[in-house]
Structure 1
Amino acid sequence: MIRIAKGSIRWILTAGACAVAASVVTLFDDRFRIIAYIFILLTVFFIGFFRDPHRIPDYSEIHDDHVLLAPADGRVMAIKDGAVQIFMNFHNVHVNRTPISGRVRSIRYKKGSHIPAFTKSSSRNERNEIVIANKDTQCAVTQIAGTVTRRIVSYVKEGDFVQRGGRIGMIRFGSRVDVTIPDNFEVVIRKGDRVRAGETVIAIERSGTGDE
């Protein structure tokens, strides 16, 4: 059974209800057939877009405390300024996950523009920064709105404890997620790589730094 992202079922139900209504009207007026088809396709699209599959972290031979997982599905746009930037396309799962286990230290939302998330000007875009920390390290996951995106959703609040790979929010209809890399971690992915939230290891703690 397909799991649907938290707070998204209403999109599917609305499109589905419109599809049913248009299909019924089509029995009396064939001109509504195309409208029925459109809403049927929209319902299928929403089911695929708002899917929230189970994820198993890809680090069977690495201790949990020594890795950072990808916070989003998508393609690595850039690795710079101590952060990994991941661009999410329409076909990607849009639920975001925490790279580490820890407590939500702060959540900072900032209003802004809706410029394409892959451009330099996107630094002015609407965003939501979630800082997660534990006794050993800290990282920030920043959800950045894109051109179509008009809603950044956070599933957590300050003080919540989150397990590595746990769901922390989503961004609707394509956008970008940045994650800061702690100084004692080494990035193990490259620009252009495809990653999966809560599954792909993006950084590993440097040998010896976690034993001090």
Structure 2
Amino acid sequence: MAGEILDNKGRGEAGWQWPAIHPEGRKFGLIALAVSLFFLLVAGWDIIGWPLLLLSLGVFAFFRDPERVVPQTENAIVSPADGQVTQIAEVEPPLELQIEDGSGFAGLARGPVTRVSIFMSVFDVHINRAPVGGTVRRVVYIPGRFLSADLDKASEENERQHILVERSDGLKLGFTQIAGLVARRIVPFVKPGDMVAKGQRIGLIRFGSRVDVYLPAGTDPKVMIGQTVIAGETVLAELGETGLIEGIAQ
């Protein structure tokens, strides 16, 4: 199915399939599996072996990497992460995405923008994807603490990685991968100068975390607090579109 064009008029084919396991996670799953088999088949310690076997299956599931159907509407900004929208707030973008960095490429403009925060639990897919297509202008890693990722101050105090993408029309969009209470490593797949397509895999965060997206000025989100979003598929916003969207939890 990868690379196949599908649409809302019936073009294309779809069917359920087992999701692939990302190579970054295979070694962890195989190590857990080997240890569990040692306790089950060699040591004969079932009380330890069976829980470890379940743990190894959980590790493989954590690093699952399913295919996604990415909307190709030009002005659509797609979610970079699976999870729940936990915060929507007007904030200043991080300084690392604004200040001159010596690359010759300008950062985000100063002034408040809408930040959409997506919290990923350990049960969500943790492969992150590009919200828009374009050229990666910045990848800025900042070491920090490991507070719970759903806290507002996690955006400024936790280990995090800022990414800035510039579209071919010059529009820039920044987003931030934030490590959480359990997450201990942010793994990038891209570097400055790389070209990325909308919905392309750009990195992952191990074991629970959060992604913040800074929408361009004059753009409101099309998602609501508490909504579950899917990386590469859910449209977070349409460039230049504003307006209140309300929902009812039920």
- Per the normalisation by structure 2, the TM-score is 0.76
Residue 163 (structure 1) aligned with residue 197 (structure 2)? yes
Deviation at 1:64, TM superposition (A): 2.4
Deviation at 1:77, TM superposition (A): 1.0
What residue number does 1:16 align with?
Answer: 33
8 Å CA contact retained: 1:69, 1:202: yes
What residue number does 1:96 align with?
Answer: 128
Residue from 56, 61, 64 that aligns with 1:48 = 61
8 Å CA contact retained: 1:98, 1:141: no
Q: Distance in 2 between matches of 1:182 and 1:121?
A: 22
Q: Distance in 2 between matches of 1:113 and 1:20?
A: 35
- Range 43-52 or range 133-142, more displaced: 133-142
8 Å CA contact retained: 2:19, 2:67: no
What residue number does 2:3 align with?
Answer: none
Residue 203 (structure 1) aligned with residue 237 (structure 2)? yes
Output the amino acid matched with 2:75.
H
CA offsets per residue over residues 165-187 of structure 1, 9 Å max, x none? 00000111111100110124331
CA offsets per residue over residues 96-118 of structure 1, 9 Å max, x none? 00000001001100011111111
Output the amino acid matched with 1:14.
I
Output the amino acid matched with 2:78.
L
Residue from 179, 183, 190 that aligns with 1:149 = 183
Residue from 35, 41, 49 that aligns with 1:36 = 49
Residue from 136, 156, 160 that aligns with 1:127 = 160
Deviation at 1:121, TM superposition (A): 3.0
Q: How many residues align?
A: 199
Residue from 78, 85, 88 that aligns with 2:117 = 85
Q: Distance in 2 between matches of 1:141 and 1:172?
A: 17
Deviating beyond 3 angstroms after TM superposition, the runs of 4 or more aligned structure 1 residues are none
Q: Distance in 1 between matches of 2:36 and 2:19?
A: 20
Residue from 61, 74, 78 that aligns with 2:83 = 74
Task: Tell me the SS of whatever aligns to 1:36.
Answer: helix
Task: Tell me the SS of whatever aligns to 1:107.
Answer: strand
8 Å CA contact retained: 2:128, 2:231: yes
CA offsets per residue over residues 23-61 of structure 1, 9 Å max, x none? 2124xx4xx11111022111110111110100112x4xx
Output the amino acid matched with 2:29.
I
Output the amino acid matched with 1:79.
I
Deviation at 1:189, TM superposition (A): 0.9
What residue number does 1:140 align with?
Answer: 174
Task: Tell me the SS of whatever aligns to 1:198.
Answer: coil
Output the amino acid matched with 2:31.
T
Task: Tell me the SS of whatever aligns to 2:21.
Answer: coil
Unaligned runs of 5+ in 1: 208-212
Residue from 227, 233, 245 that aligns with 1:193 = 227
Say which structure, 1 or 2, has more relative contact order (CA 8 Å, 6+ apart).
Answer: 1
Output the amino acid matched with 2:215.
I
Residue from 100, 105, 108 that aligns with 2:140 = 108
8 Å CA contact retained: 1:109, 1:129: yes
Q: Distance in 2 between matches of 1:7 and 1:192?
A: 30
8 Å CA contact retained: 2:134, 2:195: yes
